[in-house]
Chains A and B, each alone.
Chain A
Amino acid sequence: MRTLIRSLGELCITAGAVLLLFVAYELWGTGAYTQAEQRRLGGELTHDWAAPPPRKAPGAVTAERVRLGHGLALIRIPRLGKRFHYVIIEGVSVADLRKGPGHYPGTAMPGEIGNFVVSGHRTTYQAPFNRLDELHTGDKILIDTRSRQYTYKVTGKKVVSPGDVGVVAPVPEHPTKDPTDRLITLTTCHPKYSAAERLIVFGRMVGSIPRVNGASS
């Protein structure tokens, strides 16, 4: 009997230790995966952008070939530090978001009229959008594509329920309206370490400049 109780206790302690190790893995181990994927996708993007742009197919909206799970643009937010620099992935599946911030397929592309929507992890997987709550109105969000750099400015932020899809509409919260502005929306979970709500940051494009090929990558 005593052996049984002792074994049970030992098993519980072991389970606790494994759980602690798993928490450590969630916080720091998952970041290694994102870091490796970001490095790979960043290299891929730089390589693609260095090559001459693909010929625009007749009737195509854009000459850029966008593939799910691959890099689409670069995002920088000076307020979050000089080192805040991520490759945006096309797609928002679990696998996509493990690689970095993801662009909602079907929403506007950078610089287009409509809403350029990007989602990212608040915690785990390098937590790209961990400090999104620190953004203030007027803060810059820089988006680099092959040919242009777009500057967006934060216009507001909001906490919504996870089902509030109105925020990703071409005109946020007015799903039936036709877009006239070039907008950006960043979404992430809220509060930290929870999925109870979503933190949403809205922004508007204020300018764009041609991007020198190969620079700032």
Chain B
Amino acid sequence: MYSWLWRQLPGDTVTRVYTALVGLLVIGVLLWYVVFPWFEPQIQFDHGTVDDGGTSATAPPAPGTKHR
């Protein structure tokens, strides 16, 4: 796969190395700023709240505060 991609890159070896590096960087930036921020909240595994069985952190429990 990668050897095929490498052969598709234009220019001599130096140009190919630069193109490949820039490509990697673009993919990395896309992942970091677009894909991960969208993906992370959906799999969130760090829950700080306590609740009784509901989906964690989305449904705060009725804490039974007595208002008089």
Contacts and interface: CB of A to CB of B under 8 A. Distances in A.
B63 A119 contact: no
A175 interface: yes
A11 B47 contact: no
Interface of A: 6-7, 10-11, 18, 21-22, 25-26, 29-30, 33, 61, 91-95, 97-98, 104-108, 114-115, 117, 119-125, 129, 160, 162-165, 167-170, 175, 178-179, 187-189, 193-195, 198, 200
B41 interface: yes
Interface string B21-34: 00000001001100
Contacts of B39: 22
Interface residues of B, number: 31
A187 B50 contact: yes
Given A106-B65, A120-B48, A187-B49, 17 more contacts: A21-B32, A22-B31, A22-B36, A26-B40, A29-B36, A30-B40, A92-B48, A95-B41, A104-B61, A106-B60, A106-B62, A163-B50, A170-B63, A175-B64, A189-B48, A198-B50, A200-B50
Given A163-B50, A163-B53, A25 B62 contact: no
A89 B49 CA distance: 14
